Amino acid sequence: MLAGLYRPHFPELKGFCPTEFVTSDPKTFFTWVSLAAHARLCTFAASNEPVMQSGEAVFVELRLSLFGVKRSIDLSFLARFRNTWVVLAASVLVMPLTLWLLAPAAVPDLAHGNVAGAQALATGWAKGEMIVLVRHVERCDHSKAACLSGNDGITDRSRSVAVAVGAQFEQLGLNNADIYNSPSMRTVQTAGYMFNHAASGDDWLINCRGRMLQDALAHKLPGRNLVLVTHSECMAQIEKDLKVPTSDMGYGSSLFVSAASPAAPKMLGFIEASDWRTVNSR
């Protein structure tokens, strides 16, 4: 939210000059700042005296608020310059801050002591409201490590990673979870070691461009969590679908989406494979 204030010292001008303006549109705000800078013309019209009064003072403040983050910038010090272009230049200078505050927030890390995030995950999981995309563990054709079997699967050393992540999901509870995996060998092997469940695979979990969120919601049953063993491209796609910045998820990472309201799913956050031990809901 953007707010601006212009306060002349002449009470009789209150009906002629703008005194306060609030908007969520940055373009509208900066247009108004320009008008406020010219408000001294109102002084002239109301009092029929020279435009710049010796007793006139200008108070201009920029207030920004986004998801509880608030910033306030006092631009009153510019009044002494009595220069409209200086005020406008100051408005331009605060644009980067405005854009930064209004930019989409990064996907939250649910580990490393994010108690609120971990609690939301535990609560949503208990209610069967979650969709989680799990990336396969280390792929052999991108590593010098020994392969588990063929070159199209996972590395031998990554089996333990899959088992460890699977144990964390066991603690959350898998009785109310439906598990799917893509048909690629690396996701089939990952699902087998992680969840003791490996299907032949579903093509929509590898050909997911532009449809990941739509297909996930179509497979999500009420009161049951949906676990999708898939690929980084599909994780990036669901981030795009939810209009959040894409992130580079590591092997075995988990990306959680809350479908408490299927019509308005929300990104909850992610947990890297090596960070589960730092997840704390208390």
pLDDT digits (tens, 9 = 90+) for 60-118: 555 655 555 566 666 666 556 556 666 676 667 666 666 655 666 789 999 999 999 99
pLDDT of residue 18: 47
Alpha-carbon distances of 8 from 37, 38, 194, rounded to whole Å: 11, 12, 68
pLDDT (average), residues 218-232: 97
Q: Where are the domains of the chain?
A: 2-102, 115-278
pLDDT range class, residue 219, cuts 50, 70, 90: very high
Q: Would you identify the CATH topology of the domain 115-278?
A: Rossmann fold (3.40.50)
Q: Name the helix (H) or strand (E) containing 22.
A: strand 20-23
Looking at residue 150, its pLDDT comes to: 87
| Whole-number average pLDDT of the chain | 80
Return the number of other C-beta atoms located less than 10 Å from residue 212's C-beta: 26
pLDDT in tens, 155-173: 999 999 999 999 999 999 9
3: confidence class by pLDDT, cuts 50, 70, 90: very low
177-181 and 225-230 strand pairing? parallel
Measured CA to CA in angstroms, residue 122 lies from 102, 169, 171, 180, 268 at distances of: 29, 11, 10, 21, 11
Q: What is the largest CA-CA distance in the chain?
A: 90
State the pLDDT at residue 251.
Answer: 98
* Least confident residue range of 9-18, 100-109, 123-132, 270-279: 9-18
